[in-house]
Amino acid sequence: MLTRRGTVLVTGASSGIGRECARLFAGRGFQVFGTSRRERPDTDGVRMLRMDVTSPASVDEAVGEVLARCGGIDVLVNNAGVMHEGFAEETTPAEAEAVFAVNLFGAVRVTDAVLPGMRDRRRGAIVNVGSLAAWVGEPGEAFYAASKAALARYTEALRHEAAHCGIAVSLVEPGAFTTGVVAASTRSTAAIADYDGPRESARHTLHEGLRRGADPRRAAAVVVRAACARSPRFRYGAGTEAVWLPALRVLMPQRLFDRLLRRSFGLPR
């Protein structure tokens, strides 16, 4: 179990769940470093560092600064991510690769920079922030959902691989929270007329759901609980949807699930 005064590194800490995670850790007495793609002032006991998770040099520089200051990292929270809006056919391979570069390989890159120190000390906790989108291929979010599903499987494998080194690896999958993710999302540049109606309907459903989302502090509390648990579980859900969506996805017949999904997104049958 993580003790107070440990060192925590939170990626994507300039807003939303990442910012609230960093604040919560700092409020509990931990030494906290947050990262952002742009320079940000230190705030609420959090030392902010510039890090672009898609750049090996940027990751190495930021992690190196934390190690130089503190000697080790006790907890890594991989929260940096990007949402992409666009139907699958309208999304170019380059646009899809850019989503994976942040949501999957960004987490991999930072983890690889932190793991050697954790292995040397035979302790550490890694919490990857995924999404309930990993459970459902929602229209208009094909590559976002795919990247989060890939992150889930990577997290599961890493959990087994690193366990004997005293490193706990967990996944937190938030539902809808008001994080500002839509404002920072990327969108497909191509537009195919056949998708105009369904695309706008799916986008409206997504935006409305996120607009009515819960306070990100609730998701941050789940992340901190996972990091500090004596025997961390593999998966933690965050939000009301986290209670029923995975069970519904597994237990409901596919045809019925498809019907409900299409109706909720206003898609033609």
Residue 1 lies in a domain: no
pLDDT on residue 243: 82
Structure tokens at 202: 């799916």
Per-residue confidence of the chain (269 residues) as pLDDT tens digits? 555 579 999 999 999 999 999 999 999 999 999 999 999 999 989 999 999 999 999 999 999 999 999 999 999 999 999 989 999 999 999 999 999 999 999 999 999 999 999 999 999 999 999 999 999 988 999 999 999 999 999 999 999 999 999 999 999 999 877 766 666 778 898 899 999 998 888 888 877 777 776 788 999 999 999 999 999 999 999 988 888 889 988 899 999 999 998 988 888 87
pLDDT on residue 98: 96
**144 a catalytic residue:** yes
Residue 2 lies in a domain: no
CB-based contact 92:136 (threshold 8 Å): no
Residue 269 lies in a domain: no
Can you say whether the dihedral through the CA atoms of 205, 131, 134, 141 is positive or negative? positive
Residue 256 lies in a domain: yes
pLDDT on residue 211: 72
Exposed/middle/buried for 15, CB within 10 Å: 0-12, 13-18, 19+? Answer: middle
The total domain count for the chain is 1
CA-CA distance, 261 to 170, in Å (whole number)? 28
CATH of the domain at 251: 3.40.50.720
Query: pTM of the prediction?
Result: 0.92
CB-based contact 150:81 (threshold 8 Å): no
Residue 39 lies in a domain: yes
Residue 71 lies in a domain: yes
Helix axes 16-27, 216-228, angle to 10 degrees: 50
Domain containing residue 253: 7-264
pLDDT on residue 9: 98
pLDDT on residue 174: 92
pLDDT on residue 203: 86
Residue 104 lies in a domain: yes
